[in-house]
Amino acid sequence: MRLFDVDGPLMSALAKLADIIFCNMMFVIFSLPVFTAGASLAALYSVMQSLVAGREDDNIFKQFWLAFKQNFKQGTLLWLICLAIIAFLAAYYFIIGALQGSMARAYSITFYVLVLVFMFGFQYFFPLQARYDNKVKYTLKNGWLLSIAALPWTVLSLGVIAIAVWISFYTQSSSSFAIYFWAFGGFGIVAYINSFFFKKAFQKITPEMEKELSSAPEEAIFIDEAHRKDEILIQESTFSNPNWNRADYDPYEEEHRFEEKRKRKKRR
């Protein structure tokens, strides 16, 4: 296969880059009302996860729009909760600024710990929302649980964001570069790279089924027994099936197929 063939690696990479840039621009536009940023972020991760899995639609705009509509209610609620936490942290920071001496240093430590804890969970909220059907409170709990259970991938994903911020703000003398970088590709590139890490992190969701079907079980998300709580760990996969539209997906049918396949292997 030649490098410049239509189906060659170079053209495929350029086509994928074009999809990432296009999705990034849609994310920015759909986030302009601010309160819709959560649904837009979930839609971005939905498409990026599809790109990583090689299941992207030929019509990227349609795929983004459908994911945006499907995640609008819960994605917006997640985003509003995150905004409330950010507002609390900002107020806490300004209160600390008014303090002096050892008390200011002590409260500064607690501030950075709280920011780190928030960022750990925030990394997974919208990828989980994009990938699984679940109630918002369970998505929040599972986001923080998964951030610890998959700690190396959590650290790597935060590292990607830190590098992107450093490149856009600290390597250029002009702030205009940062505006162009994030407006025309930054969010999409970060989400695409991190989707590889999140794919690994999601293997904490019963690895066997993740490898066979890329689907979550009906219950008991984490294989770590310390985390098996039914009220927290109930999710159904929406991304995993090739026909992953939530209206058409039947997780119980997928689980039945997996069990039948495992039984056939045992008979051999």
Give pLDDT, residue 255. 55
The verdict on residue 134 lying in a domain is yes
pLDDT band for position 7 (cuts 50, 70, 90) = low
The verdict on residue 234 lying in a domain is yes
User: When comparing pLDDT for 24 and 57, which is higher?
Assistant: 24
In order of 68, 80, 154, 187, 205, the CA distances from 26 in angstroms are: 10, 20, 26, 11, 30
Range(s) of the domain holding residue 97? 9-267
Q: Mean pLDDT throughout 35-59?
A: 90
pLDDT band for position 8 (cuts 50, 70, 90) = low
The verdict on residue 217 lying in a domain is yes
Closest CA relative to residue 256, chosen from 212, 224, 205: 212
User: When comparing pLDDT for 204 and 88, which is higher?
Assistant: 88
Give pLDDT, residue 57. 77
pLDDT per residue over 99-145, tens digit each? 877 888 888 899 999 999 999 999 999 999 999 888 999 999 999 99
pLDDT per residue over 110-122, tens digit each? 999 999 999 999 9
The verdict on residue 2 lying in a domain is no
The verdict on residue 104 lying in a domain is yes
User: When comparing pLDDT for 211 and 140, which is higher?
Assistant: 140
Helix 37-53 crosses helix 9-30 at what angle (to 10 degrees)? 170
Which tokens go with 221? 């998300």
The verdict on residue 4 lying in a domain is no
Give pLDDT, residue 238. 43
* Mean pLDDT (the chain, rounded): 80
Q: Is the pLDDT of residue 69 over 70?
A: yes
The verdict on residue 101 lying in a domain is yes
pLDDT per residue over 163-194, tens digit each? 999 988 887 666 788 888 899 999 999 999 99
The verdict on residue 213 lying in a domain is yes
Q: Which amino acid is at 152?
A: P
21-35, 63-77, 115-129, 170-184: segment of lowest average pLDDT: 170-184
In order of 152, 203, 254, the CA distances from 30 in angstroms are: 32, 31, 33
What is the count of structural domains for the chain? 1
